[in-house]
Structure formats: structure tokens, C-alpha cells
A and B are shown apart, each in its own frame.
Chain A
Amino acid sequence: MCPDRELLSAFADGEVPSPWDAKLERHAADCPRCREALAGLRRLRAAFHDGAARGDESGLEPARGRVLARVDETLAARRPLRPGLWSRRVSLPLPAAAAAALAVGLLTLAWAATGARNAELRMALNAAPQPMPALASTGMEGILELIARQEAGVNITISLPAGAAVRPSGEPIMVREADFRPGSGQ
């Protein structure tokens, strides 16, 4: 039984796997019809390659150099100039860029708030009343009378006379706490 023409076409292309290619070749040797069909396929294939062998390929080598030069030229024209230091692009991952922007924003806010508070303090200091001259007064009654004469919001510093000796009386609270023992009743 003869193979179909599709198989003969594949055989002519060397695309029939072993061992079927050898079987087909043996068959074609004994079958005039298949032999003629294969000869027709080989003539057709040869017609393609005859054209190529007859100088049809003469333009190949000059074209190889010309096309390469043109591709190089096109790529060179598209190559950007080397960027300067300040025009270079810096790429950062999105989370890092967002964190950096947030940090800059927070620092700006903190700086602005500190500046405003310092301005308020400066104004308050400038507006602060001048300290009153020191008055010598002895006795608690004299001090209370002095306070009563002042307007509200006045700061008064009470200082002891230089060289005054103060003698503590009673027991300091720190000592009492150090002596405390649970269950001792103290």
C-alpha cells in the first residue's frame, strides 16, 4: 500500500522519523508511482534553491554591512546624552519615598511649632514687669501688709537675712518613711 502524498512531502523534507523513513525509502525504490511523486517533489524543492545558487544571493554580503551600520546609527541617534549630576533621575521604592516625605512634613511642622512658642516666650519676657526693689521688712505682719498693697499676679520673693541660722524642728518626713516597717503600727 502506497503512503499518502502528505507523508511523501514530509519525507522529501527529511521530517519522517526513523524507522519509517527507511521503510518509505525501500517502498519508493520498488514503487514507480511513489518514486515519480518523490522525484516531482525534489524537482520543486530544487527550483527554489536553483534561484538562490544562480547569483540571487549576491546582495547578501553588502547588505549585511549596510544594515548593521544603519542599526548602529539609529541606536546612536536614540542614545540620550549623559545626564548631569542634578538632572539625574533617582529612583526610590514607593514606601521609602512616602516615609521620607512624611518625615520631612513632620519636621517642618515641629520646627514651625517650636518657632511660634519661642516667639510667645520672647514676647512674655519682654512684657514681664520689672522686679520690685528689695524691701527690708521684719515680721510676718509687715510682709502681709506689703502683699496686700500689691496688685494680683505679682511675684514676691521672701528671703531670709544673710547669716540667719535656721534650726529644723521636728522629724523630717524622709526619715520617718525610712523607718517605716509594715506591721509595726507606724
Chain B
Amino acid sequence: MFNDDEGERDAWFRALYAETFTVLFRIARRICYSDEAAEDLVHDSYIKAVERWRIFPTLNDAKYWLIRVVKNGALNYVKRKGREQKVYQRYFRETEERSPSPEDDTLRNHDAEALKAALASLPDKFRSVLVLKEYAGLNYKEIGRVLGISEGNVKVRVFRAREALSALLREGTGDVS
């Protein structure tokens, strides 16, 4: 049984969920390359948002805050996994080649593999703008709001990220640029 406050909070959360789930899940999944990790991240981020739901003036404020939280959480997850991977490789004296994950199996296209590898090797600040632009579908103004930078800065970062990505793809076998 909800009291009035909980009922109001529940309605707020349902509206936020309907508005944001797709974009949050895409961002988390594209950075983590794991459905399970993406679900955990998105779940934890919603709980954090609900805990402080009264501080958001509008649903949009909560949306951009959530995107930032999920993006940061996903980047931290990838760094942590990378460190764990190195530890295991050292322990088992494995080569530096990555063994394919179940998620990799779904990406059979060579260009997609090359893009994924190149994107993963970009610095965080470049990877973030490309993920927010291409997978979350945000415009420069919205990306600036999420990252706390100006639209002009977003334009420069997107451009430099694309230049770096194209260079990485040219170095490898992928030739999408």
C-alpha cells in the first residue's frame, strides 16, 4: 500500500522509465558490450535517481543526470574489466588477444568488429561523445548538457573523435572511413 508521497514518486519513476530506458540501455550496452552489465548499471542508476527524485526540477533534468551516471558507470566498468583481464592473462600466460565473448558472436560483420575495437581503444572523452551522439541519438546541445561542456566543445570533440576513430580503422583492416 502506497501513501501519497510514494504514489507520487512511483508515477514520477514510471514516466522517467518510459522516457529514458532505451537510451540508457543502449549507452550502457555499447560501452560495456554486455547485456548483463548494462542491466545492472541501468538498474543501479534508476535506484539512485529515485532516492533523490525531489531534487530534479524537471523530468529532463533527471534524464540528463541519468545519462551521465550510466555513461560514467559504464566507462568505470570497462576499465575495471580491462584490469581484471590483464590480471587473468598474466596469471594464465595468455596472449594479448581477446577471446570472443557471447556478445561478440552477434557481431559477425568484420566492419562492426573493427569499429567496436577501435571505439573501445579511444580515450574516454572521445568515446563518450560518439556513444552519446550515435547510440543515444543526442544532439550537440544535449551532449553538452550531459557532459557539462559547451556546444562548441562538443562539436570539436566529436570531430576529433571521428578523426581518431578513422585513423584507427585505417591502421587496422576495417575500412569504413
Contact = CB atoms under 8 A, between A and B. Distances in A.
A174 interface: no
B126 interface: no
Given A59-B29, A82-B1, A75 B134 contact: no
Contacts of B130: 48
Contact of B159 (A6, A45, A54, A75): A6
Interface string B1-28: 1000010000001000100011001100
A48 B134 contact: yes
Contact of A54 (B109, B134, B139): B109
Interface stretch (A61-69, A101-109, A142-150): A61-69
Contacts of B69: none
B177 interface: yes
Nearest to B140: A15
Contacts of A68: 17, 21
Interface in B129-145: 130, 133-135, 139-140
A67 B43 contact: yes
Contacts of B94: none
B155 A63 contact: no
Contact of B107 (A10, A44, A56, A70): A56
Contacts of A67: 21, 25, 39, 42-43, 46
